[in-house]
Every structure is written in C-alpha cells, then in structure tokens.
Amino acid sequence: MKNSDNSSSSLDSRFNQTLKNVQGLLKGRSIPGKILLTRRTDPPEDPNLHERTPSFGRSFSENDAGTSDQMDTSMGSEARSTSKLNSNSTTTKLKPSYSNIEIASKDVQKSPMGLELQILQELQKRLRELAWSGVPPYMRPTIWRLLLGYAPPNSDRREGVLRRKRLEYLDCVAQFYDIPDTERSDDEVNMLRQISVDCPRTVPDVTFFQQEQVQKSLERILYTWAIRHPASGYVQGINDLATPFLVVFLSEYLEGDIDNWSISDLPADKISDIEADCYWCLSKLLDGMQDHYTFAQPGIQRLVFKLKELVRRIDEPVSRHMEEQGLEFLQFAFRWFNCLLIREIPFHLVTRLWDTYLAEGDALPDFLVYIYTSFLLTVRITVTSFALTLYTVTCLNFSIAAIIFFPLAMPVLCE
C-alpha cells in the first residue's frame, strides 16, 4: 500500500533486518523446529560445516540444540496423518531413528523396510528445507499436497490415493451440503447462514473471489469441513485460510494473472477435484491447530500469551511501554493468529509466506510466535519515537507487513 514510497534498498535492508530477527529468535527458542540458514544474506554460522555437508549438516547441528519432543517438523507424511493424539508419541519414537545418519544405517541392517522409511524421511526433510525458502509457482500445488501429508510421498500410490480422497469429498458434500434445510439441525442452519454471510466478503479486494461460483465452492468446502469437525465448527477467519489453497490448486488449470481468471472456464469435474484438494489440505492444516478454533479459542490465547512473553524477554522497554499504554496483545495479535496474517499482507504474497508455514509442519504454531514477534519489533523500529500504541499497531499492520514480506517473494522469482 505505502511501500511505493520506499526505495528498494531500504526495503532490502529492512527485510534483512527482519530475517535476522527471525533467525536470531529461532536460534534461542526453546521449542525447536527445523531451522534453516540457507539465505545468501546470512552471516556464515560455521563455514566448515557448510562445506562438509551442504544440506543436512546444518539442520542437524541446529536440531541438536533442541530438547523438546515437539520438534519434529520433518516426520513422514504417514506419521503426520495419524491423529493428533498419537502424534507426540509417534514423534518421540521416530525421532532417534533419523536424527543421526549413523543410527539410520544400523536400522537399515535390521530391516529392508527401514531403508525405505529412512529414505522417505530424509527426502521429506530435504523437501521441507527447500520449501521453507519458497516454492516456484508451477511446483507449488504438488509440493503443498506433499508437505501437508495429503498426497503420499510414494508416487506410485499418489494417483490412487488422490482419486479416493476426491471421491470421499464428493460423498461428504452429497451427504451434508446438498440436502434441504429441513434435514439440518438449527445449529447447522445457523452455521450455513454464517458461512454464506462470510463467503462474499472473503478476500473482497481480489475480484476473482467475487465470482459466484468461487464463493459457492468456498461455501461447500467450509460447510463440509465444519460439519465434520463439530468440536470447533465454522469460525470466522477459517474462510480466509481456505483461499490460498483455492488459488494454488486452481493455478494448475488457470493461467496468467488471477485478475483474469474465470472459474466457469473449467469443467465441473475439475472444479470438484480442486475443491476436494482444498478441503483435505485445509483439514490437514487445521488438524495441527485444533484448539485454535474450539470454544474460547484456547490455542490462540496460549500463543498470544507466548508472544507477549517472548516480546518481554527480548525487548523489555517496548513491553513495558505497551503495558503503560494499556495495549493488550490480544487486541491486535488475535487476528494475526486467527487468520495467519492473510488479513495483514497483500494477497499475492500469501502463497509465498505459506510455503514457509507449510514447511514448518507441526511446529507452525510456535513458529508463528517468532514470526509475529519479529513483525512487532520491526513495527517498533519503523515507528519513530517509540510510539507503539494500538493505533499504530493496527493501522500500520498492513503497510509494514507489505514491506516486510515483499522481498520474501524474491527467491522464487530469481530462480
């Protein structure tokens, strides 16, 4: 919005500052995810290590610092697709088997199945590392399906699994959505009404989303998801979260600028495949943050608390200042966590940001805390004379975000 005023060099330096902030924060975090230092702008951490093992070595060395059992961002899609309840124990069991290549080779001797698993896990890990820095647009649909564990990593099985999943989605729509209101409970009628109020005002600044067929697709995806996830049901903001998937999976069929797309150019069966992919990917994404959308949204409240604590630890004066101003983190950061910054940054940059989100996998919620801390501290640097008030935070949200994230699109464009 306002970034046109800024010279590209100041954009670059601001971006580099932000990146350094994030990476600096990540190094100190107590709940480690996968940490990547692959950008050219990095100060070299350990040049010897880089030479020896250009890809894995770095992340291993970073991971060694970790202690939490929540760290595994690179677990195979099979593990990721198990229910949330089991995922922690699965993670701890799996972790030792691939956190070190020597151990891996011992496993190989034990069983030939172990080899395949090891290779898959290493590939998944490598994929996450690469995706973290940005995925080229033409590969994005395939990569996102893999990162979310929706498409199986084994390419022989992929077609079959996707076909089955897409049929399953169609069945769900027929069973839950394509029925008269008389067969719905009062709550379901209310939920559908809420969704139909929100679909027309989803990303309204992008004209593509004003097409009626797009809004209908969105409505089917959201309602079907809501019915099948009764613990949370539909919560405002989830509509925003479906849009990156819709755009990415449509990009496999529609070319050129999104402003020139017309969904009616596509045959009905393609649309339903795309919808199904959106549905499943949205489900996978939200599986990792179930309590963000249940009653009183405890997951988000917890993250807002973590954000507040992290800001206090890093920048005590800014934290004190905000307290004196009566500036509550919940007032501005709630939406950041609820909509994953979709509301704050220009829509055409969202998919690039999500490459990194999805590469973080299960560590995403904690990763968000670090991103937003950096976001906030960058606002503090930009706003002169320390005038962080709710006004500056909320009004500058958008323009500052544009400045921070615009250069993130660069690595992909340069390839």
Give me the residues that bind another protein (CB under 8 A), please: 190, 193-194, 197-198, 201-205, 233, 235-237, 239, 293, 295-297, 330-331, 334-335, 338-339, 343, 389-391, 394-395
Task: Indicate the residue type of 16.
Answer: N
Shortest CB 295 distance to another protein, Å:
6
Measured from the CB atom, the residue of 139 and 395 that comes closer to another protein is 395
Q: HEC string of 35-71? A: CCCCCCCCCCCCHHHHHHCCCHHHHHHHHHCCCCCCC
Give the C-alpha separation, 59 to 347, whole Å.
31
Which residue, 167 or 395, has its beta carbon nearer to another protein?
A: 395
Nearer Cβ to another protein, position 135 or 238? 238
Residue with smaller CB distance to another protein, 165 or 302? 302
**How far, in whole angstroms, is CA 394 from its chain's centroid?**
22
The amino acid occupying position 22 is V
Q: How many CB atoms lie within 10 A of CB 203?
A: 21
Q: Closest approach of Cβ 264 to another protein, in Å?
A: 22
Chain-centre distance of CA 328, in angstroms?
A: 25
In the complex, minimum distance from the CB of residue 297 to another protein, in angstroms, rounded to a whole number: 7
Instruction: Name which of 94 and 289 has its Cβ closer to another protein.
Output: 289
Measured from the CB of residue 394, what is the shortest distance to another protein in angstroms? 7
**Given CA atoms 136, 142, 144, 146 in this order, what sign does their dihedral have?**
negative
> How near is the Cβ of 198 to another protein at its closest, in Å?
5
Whole-angstrom distance, CA of residue 77 vs CA of residue 154: 10
Select 233 or 407, whichever has its Cβ closest to another protein.
233
CB 143 to another protein: min, Å: 28
Calculate Rg over the CA atoms of the chain.
22
Rounded to a whole number of angstroms, the minimum distance from the CB of residue 354 to another protein is 18
Residue 127 CB neighbours (<10 A): 17
d(CA 129, CA 251): 23
Q: What is the DSSP string of 359-381?
A: HHGGGHHHHHHHHHHHHHHHHHH
Closest to another protein by CB, 148 or 304: 304
